[in-house]
Structure 1
Amino acid sequence: MSHSTIKLLEPIVVNRIAAGEASLPRISCAAVIIRPSHVVKELIENAMDANSSQIDCVVKEGGIKLIQIKDNGDGIHQNDLIIACKSHTTSKLHELEDLKNMTTYGFRGEALASISHVSHVTLQSKTSDSICAYRAAYNNGQITSKAPHPCAGNKGTVVGVEDLFYNVPLKRKTLRTPREEYEQIVSVMREYAVHHHSISFTCKKLDSNTFDIKTTGKDLKGAILQLYGSFVFTSLLFIPKTTTEACCFETFVTNPSYGDAKSTKLLLFVNHRAVENRAMKKSIEKMYSQYIPQNMHPFVYISIDVSFLSQDKVIDTISTMIEEELAKWKDDTAKTTVNPQTVPIVGVVADRITIPPVKVPSCQGTLDRFLVKTPSEVTNSPKDPLATKRPLVSKRSMDIQTYCIPQRSQSQNQPSRNPGAVPFPERQPKAKRQSVQANTSPLVSSLESIQELQKDVIHVEDIDLTDLISHHNFVNIVDDSLAIVEHNKLLYTINYNVLGEEMFYQKVLNGCESFGRILLDPPVSICECLNITSGKEEEPSLVPTGNGQIESLLSKHAEMLKTCFSITVVQGHLISLPVLIRDYAPDMNKLPDFLLHFTQIAWEVEKECIDDIARELALLYTPPTWLDPFVGDPEWESKVQYILLPAMKTNFRVPKYLNQRYIQSLVSITDIQQAFS
């Protein structure tokens, strides 16, 4: 591989660069070292200029004691190490004409020189044609030894910056706490890791075994998922690469359903350089204020390619495009449906219809108001709006394979489908809650039976387990039912299937009468769906005398199912299911069993009826078992990690009977560290 030699720039080139920078509007930070994050920015830009595919950052005490940047790039030649930290020495620019075709981040030769004047710098580097690595130390831009020393090392460069601002005590006093400075370093690393998503980045503290940033070189959207989480990821709107008179740009923005209470997160890159621009940020915030609540802020990523920067034109163009996309999303949200052919998927969008609690007299707070009306009453009542607005699909065109994927085998470890298989312990006195309070409170139902069931959940809550699940940190998925999590430096295995079933049960109780709907398009024929169960071995008590019996049963209680659970049944077709968790849809393979078990509902007793339906819905929404538990299902692994487990942190009371069998302590992280040390 050819190697670019580091040379000292001619004085005329240095003066021309300085004159050109003085005449340009200042839209970003120069190579002035003000904070540790500025050191990190300059060093990772150098690493990217060296064609690196892996960049690792290690920090001690917020970068004040140590910043170490390691890359696997081209490396620095032994002879070039002697002048590497001198002012105006660079391998990226030799003549003035080279400025016309400049594509690298650095070209002035000032970054390492500036850093070496306020810290102790060490460089260790190895090129592809060198038999060993070479190491040198620098102070005030000068190498401290006669020549670099040979040492062992891999291809690439390791830059160490120690004791930042050791010779400028007044500057040190202006720095923030090590924690705040480290957070700023992580923020800078995140921005570059998103834009340069083909490069793998890591960042961690020196005394920590946990990476605060660890990317694997995925696509742009995958990098945002890794670095900013599923909430941002599932809210993204993409504006593809657009060329206008002002510029060429592409953008990822969050839709109005997302909001960050802290501040607007703007990742702005101009010609692949990270810049800060208050005018752009102010324009975006003003435009978003029409769509999101006050004191909430969006996430915006913008990459601009421009030859001549006309700031006002660029800002107006991009803001207009973003506003058009938000308005389009707002118009489309009400019409969005979920096609069962595509279920299960991550990021299901369903419209949430919030029905406020209705205060009714105690004599009316029962299921009696949902009793089937007499024929004379039916003729005087309006027809079901869904029956008139949604055309039914011909039965000839309906095939169960159109909305089911290949059937997965059920694990023997799954809890029984009979809601009574896991009995509640005897009622205990209500314990005083000491765990963290949920972010939102469950809705108060107008049905007394639901209120009683909610009280039963509170009576059997294990406060310690609730605290564990509310504050856990995800570690890994083990198989189709177990995951490893961390809490208070202890590792636990949790059965997310069993916990998920209990969580969905509580979601049904807490959201009754106010669910959003997942619309099934096309509607599911109940009889044809139940035909799937005819070839399966079922318990004798579950085999119906005919599929028409279940269809008739669901039609009889259609109004109650629709009002309480958003389960809409019209003329023998299942139209909708409830939204229990945002961006989550059940596995449609479970739908036949779900419908079949409606023969076991205790329809005559209100409380038992609600409990049975809630249990059956919980089973339907619980993640399925995989075909091969040792290989896994990437789609459902992603759902478990980014949707199911985070949902357990809010409004979920873990019952006591899940204590030892489904949540087990493994080992202390401290013990592991001591064993390895």
Structure 2
Amino acid sequence: MTTQARSPSPTPDGPLPIRRLQESVINRIAAGEIIQRPASALKELIENSLDAGSMSIKITVKDGGMKLLQIQDSGCGIRKADLPILAERFTTSKLSTFSDLARLTTYGFRGEALASISYVSHLTVITKTKTDSCAWKACYADGALAAPRGTTSSEPKACAGNDGTTITVENLFYNTPTRLSALRSSSEEYARILDVVTKYAIHNPHVSFTCKKAGSSAPDVSTPSASTTAQAIRLLYGQTIAKDLLYASISASDQIDATSDASSEDKGETWSAEAHFTNAHYHAKKTVLLLFINHRLVESLRIKKALESIYNGILPKGASPFIYLSLQIDPQSVDVNVHPTKREVHFLDEETIIERIASSLQQKLIGQSQSRVFEYQTLLTGGIAESQNVKGKGKERENQRGTEESPTSDRTDSPSMTPSSQKPRKTLSQHKVRTSLQDRTLESMFPVTSSQTAANGGSGSKAADFDDSSPVPNPLKTREIKASECSLTSVQKLRRAIVQGTHRQLHEILEKHTFVGIVDVNRCLSLIQYSTKLYLVNHGALAEELFYQLGLRQFGNICRIKLDPPPPLKDLVKLAVDVEEGIERSSLSRPQIVDRIVDVLMARREMLSEYFSLDISADGAVESIPMLLRNYTPNLDKLPLFLMRLGPQVNWASERECFESFLRELAFFYVPEPLSPTHTDEAPQSEAEDKSMRWQLQHVLFPAIARYLVAPKSLLDRDVVQVANLPDLYRVFERC
């Protein structure tokens, strides 16, 4: 039985004397306020890297950050002369007087992060500035320089290193066992670390973030530089959220309505905000709010409740949205010195600003849609994975299908048939499965005045508009796409990864589906049927995975689409860079970015031609692009965007990651979607373009999906949704 230590009671002679705490005790208490867990330590280190102007941040974690937490950046580095006081408390380059707090625009300013980390871990720093001829390595303990293991001198030592700073935190909380025992499991702590990295990667899309476990070859979070916020959200949170995102930009000068406070201009109120938030079609169980005030990740219960309230009349009960909000306020109106970890901030006119932002987002939601769509996900394979005791029913269903097609057929010629099986059994209507390709599609249910030719890469095939009595056009005769012979280990591993990630039941649905029709070309929604079930699929997501697999399947032996005349590479990249958002936050100008991307592609044009059939001439002309699927032509309006993304989005340093990221970008280029997410009334999609895209989807893409796509489990999230089941519909009709 343990006893709790009690404070000594006052003596009869009087109160106990007041003593000054030892410096080590003071520092360790303060460290507990700043560094609460590995994720909070990483947050401080990421902020330091961003303050240093880093464009690349790589994070390595072991045992949830308790054994190892390493962050490597490409920032400006630390001067050797500053290393002796680097880990002392209240040493900073951000402040000199108290009045500087009113003009603060950086993340850190008190100089407590590295000091606090050094009190509860073994801290090592390797840093190099651009003017240094070598890097310098220093170890710290309790805020001061310490001698590395096996040495006696604590002075910084010269070593090899790149420009920037690498900070290694080992054995976190080794000297505070109570704090260490209070932490969660290593997997939960690692999940918190990934959450911090993801949030900062969303807010800093111009910075490349990488986070992985020690010893792992594949990162768990990886983002390219020179992206946009919307692209980062799509990469990190998935297409499920990205396709339902809305964007709003609000500032103090915007008038929300006629009754808005007109005195804000007189007060000199200056603030602005931008938000990416989901519409009425998306809902989750828990609200995801990424709130940044003056680029600092903070929490605000008032802002969260105000934003959740605008969804009360839009989303179903218990559903929550995804919101990213970045608020820029005059630093003189913000008090950042409220919380030890800077998790909370206070600012002037908080209630008015929150109300203005909430009203703007609400109006955007109302203007986007007056109704919401309810979707439900059920067991996709209700008729596939039967139990062992009913396996024989599969043959019985085949007999029923034969009965449905030929009710009077005589099957007594089979010697194994018993007399009871000779009688055709009546199949209930709700269990009948449509198998004839002559049955009607969605398009056949609408009257067509005249047939039109659908452009299909020069094939001259006509779009099929037919009713029940019209014959079905012959399917396109395409050659079998055979896997190329490749001895590269990286390609073989990528191919094996596809096979290992197959979802057998979803693969069967897509392989044996019957195409029903296209619901929405712009939103990439189509209907397919399997067995007695109807599925709503995101054909854009299916196509992206298909074209990635086709590119990997034909690696090194891809056909070409010749461009005549060949356009200049630099002009194409310039077109995409000129319309790209967020480049202003980069340290490079737009012409410099164009030149850098062109130089990267020109330096690797032989490899691009040999492996991917992307031919670029010596004078910088794009002569041909890869052809992944015959009779399918990608939207060439997306070619400038494709070429521009090859510069920052492809990892050229690693062979496997290079091939994978290039093929992912190529697949994204091939996705059958308009250049813009939706066509406005001012620039509607032409009827010919719509006809061509629909024809390619029905007669080229979906047959290729059934033939070649190895369905991964990731498509089950929201890209394949069951919307109807015939037996269930019959039960509803019977109740009516």
2:46 is matched with 44
1:226: how far off? 1.2
1:234–1:583 CA contact under 8 A, matched in 2: no
Q: 1:31 to 1:407 in 2, by over 3 A?
A: farther
1:585: how far off? 10
Task: Specify the SS of the correspondent of 2:359.
Answer: helix
Deviations 1:347-376 (A, max 9, x none): xxxxxxxxxxxxx97599899xxx99xxxx
1:624: how far off? 6.2
Which residue identity is paired with 1:484? Answer: R
Cα distance in 2 between the residues matched to 1:304 and 1:642: 43
Equivalent runs, 1:640-655 vs 2, <5 Å = 649=716
Residue 117 in structure 1 maps to residue 125 in structure 2? no
Equivalent runs, 1:596-607 vs 2, <5 Å = none
1:118–1:168 CA contact under 8 A, matched in 2: yes
2:240 is matched with 231
Cα distance in 1 between the residues matched to 2:711 and 2:251: 36
Residue 318 in structure 1 maps to residue 329 in structure 2? no
1:221 is matched with 230
Cα distance in 2 between the residues matched to 1:240 and 1:312: 18
Task: Specify the SS of the correspondent of 1:486.
Answer: helix
Task: Specify the SS of the correspondent of 1:90.
Answer: coil
1:107: how far off? 1.4
Task: Specify the SS of the correspondent of 1:484.
Answer: helix
Cα distance in 2 between the residues matched to 1:180 and 1:586: 32
Q: TM-score, normalised by structure 1?
A: 0.53
1:270: how far off? 0.4
1:250: how far off? 0.6
Task: Specify the SS of the correspondent of 2:100.
Answer: helix
1:581 is matched with 537
1:73: how far off? 0.6
1:205: how far off? 0.7
Percent identity between matched residues is 31
Cα distance in 2 between the residues matched to 1:167 and 1:585: 50
Cα distance in 1 between the residues matched to 2:171 and 2:542: 55
Cα distance in 2 between the residues matched to 1:626 and 1:519: 16
2:276 is matched with 252
Deviations 1:441-490 (A, max 9, x none): xxxxxxxxxxxxxxxxxxxxxxxxxxxxxxxxxxx9989xx983627xx7
1:503–1:648 CA contact under 8 A, matched in 2: no
Counterpart of 1:84 (choices 86, 111, 119) is 86
Task: Specify the SS of the correspondent of 2:49.
Answer: helix
1:294 is matched with 317
Cα distance in 1 between the residues matched to 2:631 and 2:371: 31
2:72 is matched with 70
Which residue identity is paired with 2:319? Answer: M
2:96 is matched with 94
Q: 1:105 to 1:409 in 2, by over 3 A?
A: farther
Cα distance in 2 between the residues matched to 1:586 and 1:188: 30
1:409: how far off? 11
Counterpart of 1:126 (choices 115, 128, 132) is 128
Cα distance in 2 between the residues matched to 1:364 and 1:642: 28
Cα distance in 2 between the residues matched to 1:364 and 1:89: 76
Q: 1:316 to 1:147 in 2, by over 3 A?
A: same
Q: 1:580 to 1:364 in 2, by over 3 A?
A: closer
Q: 1:408 to 1:283 in 2, by over 3 A?
A: farther
1:646: how far off? 5.8
2:457–2:632 CA contact under 8 A, matched in 1: no
Equivalent runs, 1:228-627 vs 2, <5 Å = 228-243=237-252, 244=254, 245=264, 247-261=271-285, 263-307=286-330, 308=333, 309=347, 310-331=349-370, 362=429, 400=453, 404=455, 406-407=457-458, 484=495, 486=497, 503-504=509-510, 506-508=512-514, 517-518=519-520, 580-582=536-538, 584=540, 625=632
Cα distance in 1 between the residues matched to 2:430 and 2:200: 63
1:584–1:643 CA contact under 8 A, matched in 2: no
State which drifts further: 323-332 or 173-182: 323-332
Deviations 1:319-338 (A, max 9, x none): 2222222222223889xxxx
Equivalent runs, 1:81-230 vs 2, <5 Å = 81-145=83-147, 146-217=154-225, 218-230=227-239
1:409–1:625 CA contact under 8 A, matched in 2: no
| Structure 1 residues not aligned, in runs of 5+ | 1-28, 335-359, 373-383, 411-415, 423-475, 521-562, 566-577, 588-621, 653-677
Deviations 1:284-341 (A, max 9, x none): 223323222333321110000112323222222222222222222223889xxxxxxx
2:118–2:140 CA contact under 8 A, matched in 1: yes
1:579–1:585 CA contact under 8 A, matched in 2: no
Cα distance in 2 between the residues matched to 1:231 and 1:135: 45
Task: Specify the SS of the correspondent of 2:370.
Answer: helix
Task: Specify the SS of the correspondent of 2:173.
Answer: coil
1:237–1:253 CA contact under 8 A, matched in 2: yes
Q: 1:87 to 1:286 in 2, by over 3 A?
A: same
Cα distance in 2 between the residues matched to 1:330 and 1:294: 18
Cα distance in 2 between the residues matched to 1:173 and 1:647: 36
Cα distance in 2 between the residues matched to 1:167 and 1:508: 64
1:643: how far off? 13
Q: 1:484 to 1:290 in 2, by over 3 A?
A: farther
1:211: how far off? 0.4
The alignment yields a C-alpha RMSD, in angstroms, of 4.9
1:583: how far off? 6.1
Which residue identity is paired with 1:112? Answer: L
Task: Specify the SS of the correspondent of 1:188.
Answer: helix
Q: 1:364 to 1:491 in 2, by over 3 A?
A: closer
Cα distance in 1 between the residues matched to 2:310 and 2:121: 44
Q: 1:632 to 1:306 in 2, by over 3 A?
A: closer
1:579: how far off? 8.4
Which residue identity is paired with 1:124? Answer: I
1:55: how far off? 0.5
Which residue identity is paired with 1:157? Answer: T
* Count of equivalent residues: 420
Q: 1:647 to 1:175 in 2, by over 3 A?
A: closer
1:118–1:164 CA contact under 8 A, matched in 2: yes
1:507: how far off? 4.8
Cα distance in 2 between the residues matched to 1:264 and 1:214: 24
Cα distance in 2 between the residues matched to 1:235 and 1:31: 39
1:30: how far off? 11
State which drifts further: 500-509 or 89-98: 500-509
Deviations 1:586-623 (A, max 9, x none): 99xxxxxxxxxxxxxxxxxxxxxxxxxxxxxxxxxx99
Cα distance in 1 between the residues matched to 2:212 and 2:508: 36
1:65–1:162 CA contact under 8 A, matched in 2: yes
2:669 is matched with 635
| Structure 2 residues not aligned, in runs of 5+ | 1-30, 148-153, 255-263, 334-346, 374-426, 462-472, 480-488, 544-628, 637-661, 674-704, 721-736
Task: Specify the SS of the correspondent of 2:239.
Answer: helix
Cα distance in 2 between the residues matched to 1:420 and 1:181: 54
1:120: how far off? 1.2
1:404: how far off? 4.0
1:268: how far off? 0.4
1:508–1:580 CA contact under 8 A, matched in 2: no
Cα distance in 1 between the residues matched to 2:324 and 2:32: 22
